[in-house]
Amino acid sequence: MALIVKKFGGSSVATPEKIFNIVDRVLREKKEDDKVVIVVSAMGDTTDDLVALAKEVTSKPYGREMDRLLSTGEQVTIALMAMAFNERGHKAMSLTGDQAGITSTDTFNKGRILGVDPNRVFEALDEGNIVVVAGFQGITEYGDMVTLGRGGSDTTAVALAGAMKADVCEIFTDVEGVYSTDPRVAKEAFKLEEVTYGEMLEMARLGAGVMQPRAVEMGFRYGVPIHVRSTFSDNTGTIIREDYTVEANKHVITGVADDTNTAKVALVGVENKP
């Protein structure tokens, strides 16, 4: 028996057909006694559409009401996915970030997770449900919904896995795992079997987009292994953990990150004095 947290992003759940593909995959991979929690993002471009909608109403679409609006995107996804599981004959229950016990700072649009009380999630699992949790959101001490900023669903998944002492947190994305560098830039790039939290954190901060730094920090904080793998294949991806389990994985240089949104300005012929 294993306790597994799986996270699927917006492109993976963009349509009802894709939601059913995820449901079928989870049921195919699930062993009889496994307990599964799924964290999802809003469908496709829903968040962008909600931001555009807000801009039609106000010139400053930020703050409490904006987070109230944006949090509805994930709520649509969790309800549809729970319905899809039930349609396939397996019990499922959807929970918002609040119901899943995720508390956050009151910094709207970029909240940080303060703690997770997963009792409601455990109760639903014990009743035989697959639990579908809304990513990207938490609740303040005053009961206000707060979104967690870019990569918030990844952070939700890893924090929830850590608080529940899950065996693994699987982050599904559109690539096979973590590569030595961007395979779209360098054809020689190869997939890493394993990488440490520290290495992944450095790569993420320097521009590697496959994982968000805050999610990696949560993994390190709780010591939960993070398995980065592809939504579109059954292949093993990359395991992010505290240390290597395979000696051959210890490279002198683990990876090279790039950031095409950074410009460098050099000033020449300037005297070296104030």
Read off the pLDDT of residues 14-32 as tens digits, 9 standing for 90 and up: 999 999 999 999 999 999 9
239 in Cβ contact with 193 (< 8 Å): yes
Question: What's the average model confidence in pLDDT over 113-136?
Answer: 97
CA separation for the pair 138, 65 (Å, rounded):
14
Residue 246: the pLDDT is 66
Q: Answer for the pair 258, 269: CB distance below 8 angstroms, yes or no.
A: no
Whether the Cβ atoms of residue 45 and residue 10 lie closer than 8 Å to each other? yes
Q: How far apart are CA 133 and CA 167, in angstroms?
A: 18
Stronger pLDDT, 94 or 211, i.e. the higher one: 94
Residue at 22 is within a domain: yes
Residue 264's pLDDT is 84
Share of the chain above pLDDT 90, in %: 70
The pLDDT assigned to 223 comes to: 93
Residue 51: per-residue pLDDT: 94
Cβ neighbours of residue 107 closer than 8 Å, sequence gap 6 or more: 146
CA distances from 28 to 21, 90, 157, 234, 262 (A): 10, 12, 21, 11, 43
Q: Is residue 234 part of a domain?
A: yes
**Residue range of the domain that includes 30:** 3-249
Nearest alpha-carbon partner for 240 in 253, 254, 256 = 254
CATH number, domain of 170, equals 3.40.1160.10
Residue 15 CA to residue 78 CA, distance in Å, equals 13
pLDDT band at 187 (very low <50, low <70, confident <90, very high): confident
pLDDT at 249: 55
pLDDT on residue 162: 96
Tell whether the model's pLDDT for residue 248 goes beyond 60. no
Which pLDDT belongs to residue 247?
A: 59
Asked whether residue 258 is domain-assigned, the answer is: no
256 falls within a domain: no
* Number of structural domains found in the chain: 1
Q: What percent of the chain has pLDDT over 70?
A: 97
Query: Does residue 252 register a pLDDT over 70?
Result: no
Whether 34 is covered by a domain: the verdict is yes
The per-residue pLDDT for 80 is 98
Domain presence at residue 254: no
Q: For all residues of the chain together, what is the average pLDDT?
A: 91
Is 20 inside a domain boundary? Answer: yes
Whether 175 maps to a domain, the answer reads yes
What's the confidence (pLDDT) of residue 85? 98
Query: pLDDT grade, residue 79 (50/70/90)?
Result: very high
Angle, alpha carbons 73-78-166 (nearest 5°): 120
